[in-house]
Chain A
């Protein structure tokens, strides 16, 4: 595959960035939820 480095890098950046953001959101939520009772979370 020509330019394989650029092509593979674009996929790694795309899915890596989304994955890192998703993990960040989950971690932040887990931290915040320690002090919020479950019955106060309308979605649960």
Chain B
């Protein structure tokens, strides 16, 4: 029964939030506004790509954050599987990070498709980078589906951790696909091997700001989502306890 005040979830109750996440959220919102202003209105158009380069400030950070999210999923899964740290918190961080990674990967695919329509004249082509990225996206949707299968929390954590450690091996394939095969997709403009960056200072700053804002956004989302998953697990446990108590009472009643 929800009569205790400790169970109330009033609109002002920060259910999965803390003072830290609230501050982080405000920082993210301010960063988002600055990124939109710089990306859409202030940064210059590109010499070759014209105004369409503005999509880069959403597309590139989205892709990088998806990589980061999937790597965090793998690290958290390894931490769970390591005997000394077999805590479900690691499993929940892995699950939350994968979910947010799928979100960012989806954003990157859609914005990339819009950018492709302008520069290549098509929304989609079975190019190496696009195909491997789509494959990575589908793999992590599969990972989330596996997390949703039945069983105990420990069973869920174990099987999804193994899958996460296999799925992360696709990331180098996606990243280096532009070097391994002839593709329409350009190679890395920044932080690539032998890259000679000739990007305007303000463009580079806006791109860097995009990566920072998306990283903070990722941290905020994962913190909240993993706490939300913890609440779901607590509810599952309490439901199981209630069912066991009822079953024991029923069995005792029958034996009398």
Contacts and interface: CB of A to CB of B under 8 A. Distances in A.
B115 A10 contact: yes
A8 B15 CA distance: 34
Nearest to A21: B103
A15 B6 contact: no
A6 B224 CA distance: 31
Interface of A (DSSP majority class): helix
Interface in A8-39: 8-11, 13-15, 17-18, 21-22, 25-26, 28-30, 32-39
**B-side interface size class:** 35 or more
Interface string B6-29: 110100011110100000000000
A10 B51 contact: no
B110 A13 contact: yes
B246 interface: no
B7 A35 contact: yes
B231 A36 contact: yes
B15 A13 contact: no
Contacts of A1: 51
A15 B16 contact: no
A43 B16 contact: yes
Interface of B: 2, 4, 6-7, 9, 13-16, 18, 32, 36, 39-40, 50-52, 54-55, 58-59, 62, 100, 103, 106-107, 110-111, 114-115, 117-118, 217, 220-221, 224-225, 227-228, 230-232, 234-235, 238
Interface of A: 1-4, 6-11, 13-15, 17-18, 21-22, 25-26, 28-30, 32-44
